[in-house]
């Protein structure tokens, strides 16, 4: 039977008791009733949360994680830009089959840690010589296949990538695999349309103001079917802000807000460097800030102004971006800890109505993530996808805790993965802490990594 009985479940308006959840064969929740009787033969569990949305991913970078942590010898300080050179070198030789194997491993890991949706910001779209594949959507289709193998919900975002920097600088040779114009992207969006389902949506993503012009971004946004999400990297590094001021006479987020009618369709990824006016305007815009705390820390980006952004009514979600972490717990923990370290006080991510940091972070990241994904996810309610995680109620950290303590324990205490079972789109994809296809997926991943190391 497609049902589960949770003694405690996090519903949109907070924790509820004795919740009966039912879903249909399409993977949609059909009923979520609190204060219910447990029917015979329906499994009973202790703590259930909606699965988290991972709103920013470059899946292939999973295989590079942890391998760029050695300082260069040439006296130049390592930075985002020196990391990017290493990442380009890695991206130069990877094949579609390897992309699929790496993505499947990543997606299984994400599911095991409680992500049930992921937005793939997909720019590795040409072959190793910079030519279009016979099927221009080849690599995006490989990511979709990996999503299906792992059983995660996806939003595919084919990327518009035409320039190396502000002022329409020509692409560098090492960026040849990324090259697309607006028509290329729309062609890939169209080809991927055949894959749209309850588990998969298709949007688009101008890579950044460095890689796409305003005219291109406008054309793409207008041509994309209504309601599809649009994502863009923005204001991640100080150097980018300076270049934007030089070239366009405005700060990156200011420029987007002035020129593009940024609204709820948009996800602004990173948006790290904002002035007060940008914080207020972005907060009012309805757009989602796509925060990726572990990658932003790893790359030395800076800290997002979270408290004023929340106060301005801003929406945000979390992403694992370069995949130095595959855990929403770690993203949310570092999001809050960055603020504590910076401002030297505690319990920053709260509102007047929600004083509980863990509850606020989890729910806010769900709302923002769902919006950025453009899919019916992020809440346990009828009509949404049957995406949920069952926590290990026998773990000492959860033993006997009150409802209002669960997310504090999950997000801020310890390193064990408390995710026991995961249901995604109505299928149990993680059981007892193991992904159901873990071994086969890991074997293909190991093979891909071995091949890449041999090149």
Q: Which is nearer to ligand NGQ, 295 or 363 (CB)?
A: 295
Please identify which residue in 58, 126, 333, 420 interacts with ligand NGQ, judged by CB under 6 A.
Answer: 58
Q: Minimum Å distance from CB 121 to ligand NGQ?
A: 7
**Any long-range contacts for 337-345 (C-beta under 8 Å, 24+ apart)?**
338/293, 338/297, 338/303, 338/304, 338/306, 339/303, 339/306, 339/307, 342/303, 343/307
The residue number whose beta carbon is nearest to ligand NGQ equals 58
Q: Which is nearer to ligand NGQ, 165 or 286 (CB)?
A: 165
Q: Which helix (H) or strand (E) holds 285?
A: helix 276-285
From the list ligand NGQ, Zn ion, none, which binds 7 (C-beta under 5 to 8 Å, kind-based)? none
Q: Which is nearer to Zn ion, 48 or 119 (CB)?
A: 119
Question: DSSP character for 330?
Answer: H
Q: Which is nearer to ligand NGQ, 51 or 229 (CB)?
A: 229
What residues are labeled active site? 270, 321
From the list Zn ion, ligand NGQ, none, which binds 84 (C-beta under 5 to 8 Å, kind-based)? ligand NGQ
Please identify which residue in 28, 30, 84, 413 interacts with ligand NGQ, judged by CB under 6 A.
Answer: 84
Question: Any contact of residue 265 with ligand NGQ (CB under 6 A)?
Answer: no
Question: Any contact of residue 120 with ligand NGQ (CB under 6 A)?
Answer: no
Please identify which residue in 22, 184, 278, 321 interacts with ligand NGQ, judged by CB under 6 A.
Answer: 321
Answer for the pair 135, 127: CB distance below 8 angstroms, yes or no: no
Please identify which residue in 236, 278, 359, 387 interacts with ligand NGQ, judged by CB under 6 A.
Answer: 236
CA angle 25, 56, 347 (to 5 degrees): 100
Answer for the pair 348, 311: CB distance below 8 angstroms, yes or no: no
Question: Any contact of residue 233 with ligand NGQ (CB under 6 A)?
Answer: yes
Distance of alpha carbon 109 from alpha carbon 148, whole angstroms: 14
Distance of alpha carbon 173 from alpha carbon 249, whole angstroms: 28
Distance of alpha carbon 314 from alpha carbon 282, whole angstroms: 7
Q: Which is nearer to ligand NGQ, 77 or 450 (CB)?
A: 77
CA distances to 127, 213, 234, 254, 265 from 244, rounded to whole Å, are: 30, 12, 10, 10, 23
Residues that bind Zn ion (CB under 5 A): 321
Residues that bind ligand NGQ (CB under 6 A): 58, 84, 208, 233, 236, 295, 299, 321-322
């Amino acid at each position: 039977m497609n049902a589960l009985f949770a003694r405690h479940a996090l519903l949109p308006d907070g924790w509820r008791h004795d919740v009966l959840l039912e879903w249909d064969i399409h993977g949609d929740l059909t009923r979520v009733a609190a204060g219910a009787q447990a029917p015979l033969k329906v499994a009973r569990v202790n703590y259930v949360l909606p699965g988290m949305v991972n709103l920013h991913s470059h899946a292939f970078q999973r295989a590079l994680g942890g391998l760029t942590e050695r300082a260069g010898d040439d006296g130049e300080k390592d930075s985002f830009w020196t990391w990017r050179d290493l990442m380009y070198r890695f991206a130069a030789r990877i094949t579609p089959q390897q992309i699929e194997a790496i993505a499947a491993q990543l997606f299984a890991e994400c599911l095991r840690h409680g992500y049930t949706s992921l937005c793939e910001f997909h720019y590795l779209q040409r072959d190793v010589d910079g030519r279009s594949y016979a099927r221009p959507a080849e690599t995006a289709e490989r990511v979709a296949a990996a999503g299906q193998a792992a059983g995660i919900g996806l939003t595919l975002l084919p990327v518009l990538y035409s320039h190396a920097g502000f002022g329409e600088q020509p692409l560098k040779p090492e960026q040849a695999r990324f090259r697309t114009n607006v028509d290329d992207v729309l062609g890939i969006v169209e080809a991927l349309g055949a894959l749209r389902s309850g588990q998969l949506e298709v949007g688009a993503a101008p890579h950044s103001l460095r890689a796409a012009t305003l005219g291109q971004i406008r054309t793409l946004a207008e041509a994309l079917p209504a309601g599809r999400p649009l994502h863009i990297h923005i204001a991640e590094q100080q150097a980018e802000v300076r270049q934007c001021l030089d070239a366009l006479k405005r700060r990156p987020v200011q420029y987007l807000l002035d020129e593009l009618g940024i609204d709820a369709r948009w996800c602004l990824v990173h948006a790290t460097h904002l002035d007060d006016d940008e914080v207020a305007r972005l907060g009012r815009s309805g757009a989602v800030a796509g925060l990726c705390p572990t990658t932003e820390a790893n790359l030395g980006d800076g800290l997002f102004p979270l408290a004023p952004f929340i106060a301005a009514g801003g929406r945000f979600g979390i992403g694992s971006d370069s995949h130095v972490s595959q855990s929403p717990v770690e993203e949310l923990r570092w999001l809050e800890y960055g603020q504590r370290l910076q401002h030297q006080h505690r319990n920053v991510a709260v509102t007047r109505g929600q004083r509980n940091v863990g509850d606020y972070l989890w729910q806010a990241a769900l709302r923002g993530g769902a919006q950025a994904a453009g899919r019916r996810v992020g809440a346990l309610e009828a009509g949404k996808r049957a995406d949920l995680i069952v926590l290990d109620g026998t773990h000492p950290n959860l033993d006997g805790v009150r409802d209002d303590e669960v997310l504090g324990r999950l997000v801020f205490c310890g390193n064990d993965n408390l995710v026991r079972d995961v249901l995604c789109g109505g299928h149990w994809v993680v059981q007892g802490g193991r992904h159901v296809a873990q071994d086969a997926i890991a074997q293909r991943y190991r093979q891909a990594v071995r091949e890449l190391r041999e090149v």
